[in-house]
Amino acid sequence: MPLPSAPLSRRQFLATAAAGALSVRALAESVATPAPAIPIVDIHQHTPFTGRTDTELIAHQRANGIRKTILLPAGRANKLAAGVEPVAHTYDFIQQHPGGEFAFFANDDIDAPGAVSEIARYLDKGAIGIGELKDKVKCDSEHVVHVAELARDRGVPVIMHFQDGTYNDGFANFHRIIEKFPTVKFIAHAQTFWCYVDKNYVAAHGLYPKTKITPGGLSDRWLADYPNFYGDLSAGSGTNALLRQPEFGKAFIERHQDKLLFGSDCSCKTGRGPTCFSVEKFGMWRDMGITDSIMRKILFANAQTMFRFPDLA
Ligand SMILES: [Zn+2]
Ligand SMILES: [Zn+2]
């Protein structure tokens, strides 16, 4: 499969820019878009998103050659702490943009009364998953259990934002939920999931640790041990963890090549330039030497196996 030449990494870009070797326009164009040969699925986007409009979202995704975008709405009040609107907005956006460029999940504040029935209502209206769950609850609380029961009954996956101390607290206990619902696919996202690539991670290391990674962390083990546990590569947390020790990052992707899915979670307005999470991730993976066949899995095939989009078959 033809892939484009490697785009500049963020590091290379900044170094080149600092040297004044290229015009800003040439630099922007050299931070390449990914291969159109792969029908890329972005499993993690939002609209609106920290002030970015619906129109800007469309331009952002097209700039990166995204074939299909999964939109994750907020709960009725939580806004995902990022200015995201509840599922009614996402649903209306999908109705206004038919044609298969966008799909959506259902969501609600899971500790609010009626949350499960609100999520179910939008599964009935075509949502293909639940999340991202981002509420101030324990990750093995009854609220999560009730959502997992719905996911099991409807056969849809759940995206979880793990951030110990704030959202879905207590990641180290999440194996209880994974084991209780073996038929539910849980897709793990955010800082604490990525912190636990390190066997020696402790909360005192913070949410963006820089210490040397000791292999055998909970995230790594669970991806290997539980068929229903997946990793969402989105956001700064997904990039930072893999760049912390690039040789570890590369081996992690190779080990879990059938369990990792590309998501951007990028709120930038253009989808261009080195600070766009999508651009940064595509460049990072090429710099690491991730093979074309693994790139195809994480950008497309793993999502397609999970969601079976009829128009991408
Ligand atoms: Zn997000
Ligand atoms: Zn972006």
Strands (E), the chain: 40-45, 66-71, 102-104, 130-133, 158-161, 186-189, 229-232, 260-261
Q: CA 265, CA 89: separation in Å to the nearest integer?
A: 18
Q: What is the mean pLDDT of residues 191-204?
A: 96
Q: What is the pLDDT of residues 234-287, one digit of tens each?
A: 999 999 999 999 999 999 999 999 999 999 999 999 999 999 999 999 999 999
Cα-Cα end-to-end distance for the chain: 17
Q: What is the pLDDT of residues 65-102, one digit of tens each?
A: 999 999 999 999 999 999 999 999 999 999 999 999 99
DSSP state of 299: I
Interval between CA 276 and ligand 1 midpoint (Å):
14
Interval between CA 265 and ligand 1 midpoint (Å):
5
Residue 40 and residue 64 in contact, taking contact as beta carbons nearer than 8 Å: yes
Q: What is the pLDDT of residues 87-145, one digit of tens each?
A: 999 999 999 999 999 999 999 999 999 999 999 999 999 999 999 999 999 999 999 99
Interval between CA 21 and ligand 1 midpoint (Å):
36
- Asked whether residue 3 is assigned to any structural domain, the reply reads no
Local structure of 120: helix, strand or coil:
helix
CATH of the domain at 95: 3.20.20.140
pTM score of the predicted model:
0.89
| The residue count for the chain | 313
What does the pLDDT read at residue 313? 84
Band (174; pLDDT cuts 50, 70, 90): very high
CB atoms within 10 A of CB 308: 10
Q: CA 115, CA 109: separation in Å to the nearest integer?
A: 6
- Asked whether residue 4 is assigned to any structural domain, the reply reads no
From the CA of 271, the nearest ligand is 2
What does the pLDDT read at residue 37? 82
Q: What pairs with residue 160 in β-bridges? A: 133, 188
What residue numbers bound the domain in which 188 lies? Answer: 10-307
CB atoms within 10 A of CB 76: 17
From the CA of 161, the nearest ligand is 1
Q: How many distinct structural domains can be found in the chain?
A: 1
Place of tokens 């979202």: 57
From the CA of 280, the nearest ligand is 2
Q: What is the pLDDT of residues 183-196, one digit of tens each?
A: 999 999 999 999 99
- Asked whether residue 312 is assigned to any structural domain, the reply reads no
Cα angle 130-50-43, degrees, rounded to a multiple of 5: 35
- Asked whether residue 169 is assigned to any structural domain, the reply reads yes
Residues with CB under 5 A from ligand 2 (ion): 266, 268, 271, 276
Q: For the chain, give the percent of residues with pLDDT over 90.
A: 87
- Asked whether residue 1 is assigned to any structural domain, the reply reads no
- Asked whether residue 182 is assigned to any structural domain, the reply reads yes
Q: CA 295, CA 283: separation in Å to the nearest integer?
A: 12
- Asked whether residue 313 is assigned to any structural domain, the reply reads no
Tokens of 27: 């630099």
